[in-house]
Amino acid sequence: MQLQVDIDFNQLIQLAKKLPSRQWAKLKQEVEKKQATNNSASELETFLLSAPTFSKKQLDEIAKTRKAINEWRTR
């Protein structure tokens, strides 16, 4: 069974402030962990997008080499 509750952001803040210190620390830790996960995905995306790419000439050379290897294997 699933329950969904719509609450205002300010209400959420008030509820969080009423948490006992132990639960507050646990909530804070979970929120920060989620943010760290999002950052690492963003860093990975940035790294991959800035990675070098093959030129048309290099791609043609790879295709030519693959064709030659395939012909050699089937002989």
Decide if pLDDT at 17 tops 70.
Answer: yes
- Spell out the SS3 assignment of the chain: CCCCCCCCHHHHHHHHHCCCHHHHHHHHHHHHHHHHHHHHHHHHHHHHHCCCCCCHHHHHHHHHHHHHHHHHHHC
pTM, to two decimals: 0.41
Decide if pLDDT at 36 tops 70.
Answer: no
Q: What is the model's pLDDT at position 35?
A: 67
Instruction: Give residue 6's pLDDT band: very low, low, confident or very high (50, 70, 90).
Output: confident
Instruction: Give residue 37's pLDDT band: very low, low, confident or very high (50, 70, 90).
Output: low
Listed by start position, the domains of the chain span 9-74
> What average pLDDT does range 12-22 have in this prediction?
91
